[in-house]
Amino acid sequence: MIVDILTLFPGMFTGPLTESILKRAQQAGLIHVRLHNIRDWATDRHRTTDDAPYGGGAGMVMKPEPLAACIRAVLALPPGATAAESPASPPVILLTPDGEVFTQAIAQELAGAERLVLVCGHYEGIDERVREALITRELSIGDYVLTGGELAAMVVVDAVARLVPGVIDAESVAEESHGDGLLEYPHYTRPAVWEGRPVPPVLVSGHHGEVAKWRRRERLRRTLLRRPDLLERARAAGRLTAADLAWLAELGWPSQAPQTGP
């Protein structure tokens, strides 16, 4: 996968892209991240990329000319040695507080793309005409405002890259939080007793069937306690079995299953 990131502050990506799993994924050729400084497409000697907003108001707005030129130049780049030519243009994604909320499902969708173009907004945002002409999707990582889209882009790259085949073990992804709409079960490692707190006996029983049952129930319990809204979505999507619903009923979950009949 190729990820092109358009930013005013490429130095912000040095740490996240050169450590841990993202570093190893790039070394293995599974992902390739290319940083593009939007200022390189400014035409004045001061490399100006922002200006005051029409209509007045606080803050500055990213100018359309350098940003549009940067996007078009990046789209014209070859896909790179590790990706095949694709007849379709890659999605051009703006990171912005008023975008679609980024979810695990979207991460899984984007992980199937050969190439992504991420545009980091800054200041009060980008000129609306660039959004209309060149942006194909807008994402937000939450209902809050950051100083720019760089941190949001890092989140998207991290969440998507780990789902690219080969980046991490497939089994590690299978039952983690939000993968199927539920939160993850608790984890334990040695020692068996820590400060008087023992590991649940089932986990050292050697009975794989009971361990699987315990983990499923703990996922349901944790989701009920922390994110009950996810349970209703899982039920509506048909992801909860009869055994799941019976266990949740024991825990006191008032399922809102639709009534049938007159």
Which residue is associated with the tokens 């992504």?
Answer: 116
> What is the C-alpha separation between 15 and 122, in angstroms, rounded?
20
Residue 175's pLDDT is what?
A: 55
Residue 38's pLDDT is what?
A: 98
**Does residue 225 carry a pLDDT above 90?**
yes
pTM: 0.85
Residue 86's pLDDT is what?
A: 46
**Does residue 122 carry a pLDDT above 80?**
yes
The per-residue pLDDT of the chain, averaged, comes to 91
Mean pLDDT over residues 195-217, rounded?
96
Percent of the chain with pLDDT over 70: 90
> What is the C-alpha separation between 189 and 237, in angstroms, rounded?
33
Helices 150-161 and 20-27, packing angle to 10 deg: 60
Choose the weakest-confidence range: 64-68, 187-191, 251-255: 251-255
**DSSP code for 53:** P
> What is the C-alpha separation between 183 and 231, in angstroms, rounded?
10
> What is the C-alpha separation between 79 and 3, in angstroms, rounded?
10
Residue 12's pLDDT is what?
A: 96
Do 245 and 255 touch, CB atoms closer than 8 A? yes
Write down all domains in the chain, each with its CATH number in brackets: 2-170 (3.40.1280.10), 193-250 (no CATH)
Tell whether omega for the bond before 191 is within 30 degrees of 0, i.e. cis. Answer: yes
Residue 47, by phi and psi: left (phi above 0), alpha (psi -120 to 50) or beta? left
Residue 82's pLDDT is what?
A: 37
In tens, the pLDDT along 128-139 reads 999 999 999 999
Mean pLDDT over residues 49-63, rounded?
94
72 against 173, higher pLDDT: 72
CA dihedral 175, 176, 180, 181 (to 10 degrees): 140
In tens, the pLDDT along 57-104 reads 999 999 999 999 999 999 999 865 333 444 468 999 999 999 999 999
